A and B are shown apart, each in its own frame.
Chain A
Amino acid sequence: MKMTAKKTKGLLERIRQGDIFQDISVIENIELNGSRLLKDEIVFPYVVCLNQECDLVNDFDTKERGKDSSLLHLAIAPAFIFEHFLSGSHWGKIFINGSTGKRSDTKIKAIIDNEIPRYHYLNFAEADMPELIIDFKHFFSVNRNMLYQQIGKRLCSVDDLFREKINQRFSFYISRIGLPV
């Protein structure tokens, strides 16, 4: 099967473009109800950092936090286990099950070949990483410091060419011209 991702050998102190984290939550709402505080969040099993690499470098190297080259939030996109994507159950109970597919289907083959702009398929050279798929329609931001505090949840960094490909395809998808329906 075609390899579309490879881990870097080591990890840097700083977060890199394409870093994959595990169990990152995105706060949806915080509500005060009498003496009770209600926090709604979604925990994503896998997320990929989408920030531009030199922004992350400048942010990390900034000696004084609070300068405008510092980042407040980082962009992340959830990544899903490809087998769940095929079964349409990759969003769990958050969305109703999507359409199912087989690897032999023409559309799924196109997704695996990264020919459909909305999706990015990640098949790692390393056997310890599951097949993942990113759906560029969904992306979030997390507080920069909160993500650094959870750096121990980082599974891996993605090697240069592969991480740049993720961002190139993300920016292509997000900058598409919308046509009236």
Chain B
Amino acid sequence: MDIPEILPMPAAAIPKAEIVVGKPIVPERIRTEYELSRKSDENDGKKDERSS
């Protein structure tokens, strides 16, 4: 499996998050729907390629 490298970043360049006032502060369950394009049909019937 090809695992992408995480590029080294100087610590100072790492953005630091700050607490955002007004955003939800309890866990939230979210469902997102994506419409797949027809191109994916081209893969129908093809063998699933998995690393052994």
Contacts and interface: CB of A to CB of B under 8 A. Distances in A.
Interface of A: 10-13, 21-23, 25, 28, 32, 35-45, 65-66, 70, 78, 80-81, 84, 89-94, 128-130, 145, 148-149, 151-155
| Interface size range on B against A | 20 to 34
Interface string B27-52: 11111111110100000000000000
A38 B33 CA distance: 5
A39 B1 contact: no
Given A36-B35, A38-B31, A145-B4, A92 B17 contact: no
Interface of B, secondary structure class, is loop
Interface of B: 1, 3-6, 8-11, 14-20, 23-36, 38
Contacts of A78: 27
Given A11-B16, A84-B25, A130-B19, A39 B4 contact: no
A93 B31 CA distance: 14
